């Protein structure tokens, strides 16, 4: 009755890396994964230290992702899936190597640093027959799932206006020149790609819109700004969006919003009702129908549907946060991986796919194109 | 020691009009005004009813603003100032008539329905030597004054990003076709001018930016949308703004934001700190310096300057709102009017002037110009 | 059609007094009152200064309340009502003087400094045939009226638990010894009576419970504490309450709650739903029915009844506060006074009466009695 | 460098049990524990199902805790610690069995159902030399640790007033008679002990006070009420508290607070500042110094000390909740258990001990004693 744990490996996520540790905790939460292999760092000593700290067998702590892909593919007990948590520029070659080795991929966002790479990768995924997930993690928060159910179930009526924003303040000064590795690669075009703030958090906001509403813009005008002197990539992004069907949107992403921590917020207004969600208080969803008092829907509470009740870990009032949302992502991916293992049809899950990954890169590319034309309107297809 | 009350009259503000009653209450709050004359309605019966209800002498309840201007100018006890609270298209002729009659003017926003009228009016004001105020009322809220003091005092450092929004939901359906007079004239280009939501509330948001920061944009791109079928003016506005000095802004105004009441909010991010203010909770101002915990400044409370303490009516924790903010506007205007009466220099007050009024019309004109070019960037001067 | 303004006078409320100015603004708000006489201060110079500032005729600025009562009663144009905003110990003699002179009374709370005086005053009111109002002002806030309508309309079911609190921090230090007149008399038993914080704000909380629920406790246990060294009256009050029908309550009032401004909050839990209201955000009322999402009811908004719509001054989203709530009190009192003047039956209004005033003193007396017995349980009747 | 995982077992926590699953997730979060044995249910089939679901070896899924204690003690690879998540009445015998078998204990609260058992258990712990932890989990939330650091560091000055409350609504109706196992045992004196709501959540609130302030009350008056007809234990608790040093407190716990989920809130007022914390928004702590604006301290953010930064999993703005707080508890317990294993001194950790467990039972006992005397004041020792 108990399923065997999913054997997985990690590329990136060495000592001091933030998001790698988050992935590992999220994977542990429900006990369905087992970390068995890693290429944690290009510095062998760091890689070994991390492997030892995590209790991996020494022969499965690899000096390079290439060797890891090759060796794990050759082992009968090799990993089933790899988690890629490197800087952006490595997403493509690492994903390619593991897909070619027959390993499922869970890849951080943005998918790649160029649109060409993204489309090549999509083709590779198709040919490989392997599953590919992109960790746009906010979609799996229960109250985001509830928001999606409300919009897609018609309770907002026709969507008119979408206001989405993602504001952080941690790059308000030139921390990339003070030795912060987190800031270093994110502000370096060679490692991050053409989008700075745009790629790092703007794409999260963009994906959230599509995830909740099912709408994608056909054209946009994007103002990319670099406020911190000497910075090489945008640290502030303001975008106007036009959607098929007539909805209008505005997206703001910033990493120079002094005083903000991780303020991802979305508000969607339809002709019947509106919703509002704030990532920093993720267990709550404001639902305001025309002509009735606004309600505060709570995860697991009255008046919410199955996605916001069954999938959660705790009763209402026991706050869940980033790790629980991330844990649900891992849990759904596990459902899909186990289905493949058991030769069953892969269930529909809520986790972003290669298509969503490509869409994110298209968005970056279009914004950069608009910005180069002094923020003129450009089409997205 | 007691000053004589300011004798004032009102044009507009008949039975059922919302904003006229607000002006009257605001003028009463500190007991410095006396309402003596009015042309409340073009319908004589309504005009008389309102005059009677307000206890005016019957010979000072006028059938037209022209007669009122003429008669009051001729009386030794004639009004010193007139309050204009008509639909927009009457602001210009009414203001003109009273300026020419030597009466100070307190005029609702937006100033006029065309830029040409606005500039003509500015010239009239200059020539008349009379005082002219535009009731962009949000500037006089104590915590907005505090925000202004923080920004202008340099506590935010260089301003980088301005996010301002003004969201209402009351025009989510075609209420203008259900007999609502409030909705009727606001959605009629002949009465409201070229801006719908833009002129009605977008200009409030625009003025707030300038009022707090002292910055005016040099160019903008404006998306004006009409969501409700059959509506003749915009009901949703999204604007990107570029300011001299490099700051970037986004302005959103909507009257189809289902579930919103009167959600005017401004956030300003500098390189040292940020502030945030929400009109629906006007006694609080968020102040978040880089590298320190965010503070909640409270009207009259610790850590706030003179504008947010002396000018208010009540101690902290005793909420003030729209009427008190409006009352402060009237109180400051009274300071200016009494100075003129006493042949003293007019003190610097915080109330919007004819220049601010013209700036608002320039903003409307530029937005409309941009929108006609498919939301292209246009310059503002 | 226009009613003549109510001619009123004021006892107390001289220069620097807080609550007198609030009463005057509240009375002005709707233009239904005219201040014609006053005994503003026992210091003649201060009294005259205030009279002059308010534009009163010099012969109606009185050196004493006794002379004011006598003179005004003798004038054909004498005041119809007096507002008493003195320290507590004067409420009784001043009220007595004006009742005996045939003048209606609007008296600040608490009613008197002893239960005996309160009961005597009740008898005087009965015999005088005059109207008597006590300014427990929080009852007239629109959303408190809505709360009352919900509870009394049965939407909470049987009331089980009442948690009410009123927390201020301004007496956290011995400000009464720094020359603050506000603090001075409030902490002096000769001027304030036996309750310090208890009488000043505890009775507000107590009245709010009764006002909203219609329930009065039959017994209580009260812990009265003096935290600031040298203070002569309680500055912190914690009371357990037992109501007829079985409901249980806890009341906390404090003036040493550092960091609190004027935090009056009430929560009422029934077997079907609960409500919560916070005076510092008075336009909102939380309504949480069992088995449904909590709603935020807004003044003037959807889903609220007549008291929370018709009686207010502004549409939802335009915040109202203390003055507007107070203004509604004055407006309702005006309805009653005009009815008397016109020999019509006095309408049922929501303003506290002499009975509520006596109930407040009974509460103070019982709390003091309990405290003297080491916070033992005592009965209230 | 990697430590071996702590081998642990669980008693209770079978299918459908809420808190057992929470413990397992919390123990997984940092990968420092390995679940190897369990007596999950007295029903063998349920016990086996849970063991299988968790991937345990079949010979380590036990039909009784007695057999589990015996067998595990005999194995060279036996468990080092046991987690007890049974109904309250089993805490004592299970803890006793494992202590006697030389196994460390992590026990749910309240410690026992009688004070006598609690004191006996304390003696057993002393004699055993084993570590014993009680899962009063709220103490390990980072911002509670910050609160404690502020209070104990003197930043509040002398503590004057403590207001603590824990409100839930899930027992507003007689759910114990609808087959809910959660409600069933909690409302049954034979399984829960003498306190219903008092033992289940009142003790959490009580412990939080002591944890944050270091203060314990010397006397109290407790009103225990049963609101739901037929219920055999209290479902609402209101307690007045007197602390050594003069501080005064009020504690409210309720499980019939319709509309509340898990509203544990504490506010502490000193003569220099106050703090406020709300479990439903655990990443924030309000800190309001006298004479300065209130601050919102955020987990991991500026102005917070080591406990609220180093010990957390995620940067500010990435919400943490119940599981992360619980995970920190398990992490600290792991530090202690590894120290014992390595024959190092046990570090000071923030997790509740047997002493705290006994204090909780003393509190229950005193409240019940007071309630039996009609809520008279009783001493607490």
Q: d(Cα B380, Cα C10) in Å, to the nearest integer?
A: 55
**B270 vs A: CB within 8 A:** yes
Task: Give the model's pLDDT for residue B1.
Answer: 42
**How close is the nearest chain B Cα to the Cα of A216, in Å?**
18
**A272 vs C: CB within 8 A:** no
Q: d(Cα D64, Cα D90) in Å, to the nearest integer?
A: 12
- Band (pLDDT 50/70/90 cuts) for residue D59 is very high
**Contact indicator for A294, A278 with CB cutoff of 8 Å:** no
Which portions of chain A are predicted below pLDDT 70? 1-2, 309-312
Contact call for D163 and C161, based on CB within 8 A? no
**How close is the nearest chain B Cα to the Cα of D311, in Å?**
19
**Beta-sheet pairing, D295-298 with B104-107:** unpaired
Of B316, B198, B190, the closest CA to residue B255 belongs to B198
- Band (pLDDT 50/70/90 cuts) for residue C314 is confident
Report the DSSP beta bridge partners of residue B285: B297
Residue C314 vs residues B326, C283, C302: alpha-carbon distances, Å: 12, 11, 14
What is the number of H-type helices and E-type strands within chain B?
Answer: 12, 15
A 10 A CB-CB count for C58 gives 8
- Band (pLDDT 50/70/90 cuts) for residue D1 is very low
Q: Which residues does chain C have within 8 Å of residue B168's beta carbon, measured at their own beta carbons?
A: 317
| Residue D135: HSE in the Cβ half-sphere, 13 Å Cα cutoff | 27
- Mean predicted lDDT score pLDDT of chain B: 95
Q: Which residue of D has its CA nearest to B316?
A: D293
Ramachandran class of B102: left when φ > 0, alpha when ψ lies in -120 to 50, beta otherwise? left
Task: Give the model's pLDDT for residue A2.
Answer: 62
State pLDDT tens for residues D98-157. Answer: 999 999 999 999 999 999 999 999 999 999 999 999 999 998 899 999 999 999 999 999
**Residue D277, SS3 per DSSP:** strand
Q: Which residues does chain A have within 8 Å of residue C295's beta carbon, measured at their own beta carbons?
A: 293-296
**D214 vs B: CB within 8 A:** no
Contact call for C376 and D376, based on CB within 8 A? yes
Q: Which residue of B has its CA nearest to A253?
A: B161
**A295 vs C: CB within 8 A:** yes
Q: Which residue of D has its CA nearest to C286?
A: D259
Q: d(Cα B104, Cα B8) in Å, to the nearest integer?
A: 9
Report the DSSP beta bridge partners of residue D377: D221
| The D81-85 sheet, strands edge to edge | D33-39, D6-12, D81-85, D104-107, D132-134, D352-353
State pLDDT tens for residues B320-338. Answer: 999 999 999 999 999 999 9
Task: Give the model's pLDDT for residue A1.
Answer: 42
Best residue of D294, D296, D305 to probe chain B, by most B CBs closer than 10 Å: D294
State pLDDT tens for residues D182-191. Answer: 899 999 999 9
* Tokens (6 digits) for D265: 């809130």
Contact call for D315 and A31, based on CB within 8 A? no
Q: d(Cα D186, Cα B359) in Å, to the nearest integer?
A: 67
pLDDT above 90: percentage of residues in chain D? 90
**Contact indicator for B77, B102 with CB cutoff of 8 Å:** no
Q: d(Cα A260, Cα B290) in Å, to the nearest integer?
A: 9
Q: d(Cα A136, Cα B149) in Å, to the nearest integer?
A: 41
Task: Give the model's pLDDT for residue D310.
Answer: 59
Q: d(Cα C360, Cα B270) in Å, to the nearest integer?
A: 52
**How deeply is B164 buried, as exposed, middle or buried, from its count of CB atoms within 10 A (0-12, 13-18, 19+)?**
buried
**Which of the residue ranges B308-312, C21-25, C68-72 has the most confident prediction, judged by mean pLDDT?**
C68-72
- Band (pLDDT 50/70/90 cuts) for residue C311 is low
**A222 vs B: CB within 8 A:** no
Contact call for C293 and A297, based on CB within 8 A? yes
Q: d(Cα C83, Cα C351) in Å, to the nearest integer?
A: 14
- Is the link from the previous residue into D110 a cis peptide, with omega within 30 of 0? yes
Please tell me what DSSP assigns to residue C346: P
* Tokens (6 digits) for B57: 């002498």
Q: Partners for B (CB, 8 Å, 3+ pairs)?
A: A, C, D
User: For chain B, how are helix, strand and coil distributed in percent, rounded to 5?
Assistant: 40, 25, 40
**Beta-sheet pairing, B6-12 with B33-39:** parallel
Contact call for D271 and C173, based on CB within 8 A? yes
**D321 vs A: CB within 8 A:** yes
Best residue of B294, B308, B317 to probe chain D, by most D CBs closer than 10 Å: B294
**Contact indicator for D98, D38 with CB cutoff of 8 Å:** no
Sign of the Cα torsion D49, D55, D60, D66 reads negative
* Tokens (6 digits) for B158: 């260089």
Q: How far apart are the first and last CA of chain A?
A: 47
DSSP string, A199-250: IIIIHHHHHHHHHHH---EEEEEEEEE--STT--S-SEEEEEEEETTS-EEE
**How close is the nearest chain D Cα to the Cα of A329, in Å?**
15
- Is the link from the previous residue into A107 a cis peptide, with omega within 30 of 0? no
Q: Which residues does chain B have within 8 Å of residue D302's beta carbon, measured at their own beta carbons?
A: 291-293
Q: d(Cα A273, Cα A147) in Å, to the nearest integer?
A: 12
What beta strand segments (E) does chain B contain?
6-12, 33-39, 81-85, 104-107, 132-134, 159-167, 217-225, 236-243, 248-254, 263-270, 273-278, 284-289, 295-298, 352-353, 377-379
Q: Which of D2, D279, D321 sits opposite A324 (nearest CB)?
A: D321
**Residue A5, SS3 per DSSP:** coil
Mean pLDDT calculated for residue range B282-291:
97
State pLDDT tens for residues C289-303. Answer: 999 999 999 999 998
Mean pLDDT calculated for residue range D42-61:
95
**Contact indicator for B19, B26 with CB cutoff of 8 Å:** no
Which residue in the block uniquely carries the two structure tokens 């003197």?
A: D154
- Is the link from the previous residue into B99 a cis peptide, with omega within 30 of 0? no
Q: Which residues does chain C have within 8 Å of residue B60's beta carbon, measured at their own beta carbons?
A: none
A 10 A CB-CB count for A119 gives 16
Mean pLDDT calculated for residue range D226-242:
98
* Tokens (6 digits) for A237: 């992004």
**D313 vs A: CB within 8 A:** yes
Best residue of A302, A308, A309, A316 to probe chain C, by most C CBs closer than 10 Å: A302
């Amino acid at each position: 009755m108990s399923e065997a744990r999913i054997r997985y490996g990690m590329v990136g996520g060495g000592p001091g890396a933030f998001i790698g540790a988050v992935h590992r905790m999220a994977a542990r939460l429900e006990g369905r994964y087992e970390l068995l292999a890693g290429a944690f760092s290009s510095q062998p000593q760091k890689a070994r230290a991390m492997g030892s700290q995590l209790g991996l067998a020494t022969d499965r702590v690899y000096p390079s992702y290439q060797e890891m892909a090759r060796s794990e593919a050759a082992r009968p007990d090799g990993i089933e899936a790899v988690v890629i948590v490197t800087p952006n520029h490595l997403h493509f070659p690492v994903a390619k190597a593991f897909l070619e080795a027959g390993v499922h991929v869970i890849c951080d966002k943005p998918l790649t640093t160029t649109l060409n790479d993204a489309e090549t990768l999509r083709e590779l995924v198709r040919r490989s027959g392997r599953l590919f997930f992109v960790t746009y993690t906010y979609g799996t928060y229960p109250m985001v799932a509830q928001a999606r159910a409300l919009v897609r179930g018609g309770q907002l009526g026709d969507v008119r206006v979408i206001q989405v924003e993602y504001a952080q303040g941690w790059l308000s000064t030139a921390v990339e020149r003070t030795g912060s590795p987190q800031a270093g690669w994110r502000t370096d075009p060679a490692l991050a790609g053409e989008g700075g703030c745009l790629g790092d958090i703007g794409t999260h906001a963009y994906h959230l819109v599509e995830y909740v509403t099912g709408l994608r813009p056909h054209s946009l005008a994007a103002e990319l700004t670099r406020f911190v002197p000497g910075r090489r990539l945008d640290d502030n992004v303001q975008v106007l969006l036009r959607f098929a069907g007539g909805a209008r949107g505005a997206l703001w992403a910033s990493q120079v919003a002094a005083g903000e921590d991780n303020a991802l917020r979305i508000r969607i207004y339809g002709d019947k009702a509106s919703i509002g969600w704030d990532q920093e208080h993720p267990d709550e969803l404001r639902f305001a129908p025309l002509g009735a008092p606004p309600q505060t829907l709570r995860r697991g509470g009255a008046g919410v549907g199955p996605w916001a009740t069954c999938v959660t870990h705790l009763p209402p009032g026991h706050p869940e946060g980033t790790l629980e949302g991330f844990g649900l992502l891992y849990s759904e991916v596990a459902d899909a991986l186990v289905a493949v293992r058991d030769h069953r049809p892969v269930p529909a899950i809520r986790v972003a796919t290669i298509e969503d990954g490509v869409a994110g890169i298209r968005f970056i590319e279009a914004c950069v194109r608009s910005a180069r034309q002094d923020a003129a309107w450009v089409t997205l297809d």
